[in-house]
Amino acid sequence: MSPKIYKLAVLFLFLIVVSCTDEGGLENAPPAYEVNILTLGDSRVQGNRPNHESYRFELWKSFIQNNWTVDFLGPNIDTSEYPLVDGLNFDSEHGGVGGYTTKNVLSSLEETLASVEMPDVILLGIGGNDLVRNIANEDAIQNIHGIIDILQDYNPDITIFIEQIAPAVSEIYDEENILIFNSFNDAILTVSGERTTEDSQVIAVDMASDWYDILLADQVHYNSLGAKVVADKYYNAVNLHLER
């Protein structure tokens, strides 16, 4: 680079800094770090307004209001209407599909990854349909290991948040179902410890604790209150484990 071009480049960068400080300081400049987030899972991820809610909007709103720069990824588009947040339209791309089991996510994952930008973060909420269909926990957990295999091979630095899923309405559980449900969520916690590497964190997010029927729109899906609870737990986990 010639001395003249170098000086011009330095001057240009200086003017950028000055323009930011003139508007009230560098703290008012937009965040420089963007996080690509791929949400994966079933109808709880997908949502179906006005019948039931996904956590995605409330989570995105928390990111925006706390000055995160995030890009939600996914092959699907949520066409429901949402209010503007700080003048911005909801980033409605996602990877949730109603009825999906762990096997469905596993079998479609490579195609999903090929259709989006490289994700930095995965939010995986899956397993409810496995339980409803009496799929053995061992098989569901094996599928989740397969999902993690693909994700960590695709991006060795990826951070994966896996839900210890919230329960369905309490009236559908008998003693045996409660044991199976708790066993599944205990296994998710074990998976997070087994699959975390030096470069890739696998983090269990406990959605089941402090969960009540009043948070459900029907037997299994979130209402607006439930969606906010799940979103807040995700936000707190991401905020704790990711650096900006």
Q: Are 36 and 73 in contact (CB under 8 A)?
A: yes
Low pLDDT (below 70) residues in the chain: 1-33, 244
- pLDDT value, residue 244: 61
- CATH architecture of the domain 32-241 equals 3-Layer(aba) Sandwich (3.40)
Distances (CA, A) of 228 to 34, 54, 196, 222, 232: 23, 9, 27, 9, 6
Separation between Cα atoms, residue 96 and residue 221, nearest integer Å: 13
What percent of the residues of the chain are helix, what percent strand, and what percent coil, each to the nearest 5? 50, 15, 35
Distances (CA, A) of 139 to 127, 134, 143: 11, 10, 6
Separation between Cα atoms, residue 85 and residue 87, nearest integer Å: 5
- pLDDT value, residue 34: 86
Domain ranges, ordered by start, for the chain:
1-30, 32-241
Distance, C-alpha 153 to centroid of its chain: 19
For the entire predicted model, the pTM comes to: 0.87
Kindly state the tokens that stand for 26.
């560098």
- pLDDT value, residue 13: 41
| Among candidate residues 99, 121, 97, 123, the one with its CA nearest the CA of residue 111 | 97
- pLDDT value, residue 11: 39
Separation between Cα atoms, residue 179 and residue 136, nearest integer Å: 13
- pLDDT value, residue 33: 59
Kindly state the tokens that stand for 101.
């089991």
- pLDDT value, residue 174: 95
Separation between Cα atoms, residue 1 and residue 79, nearest integer Å: 49
> Which residues are CB-contacts of 210 (< 8 A; sequence separation ≥ 6)?
229
> Which residues are CB-contacts of 7 (< 8 A; sequence separation ≥ 6)?
none
Separation between Cα atoms, residue 141 and residue 127, nearest integer Å: 9
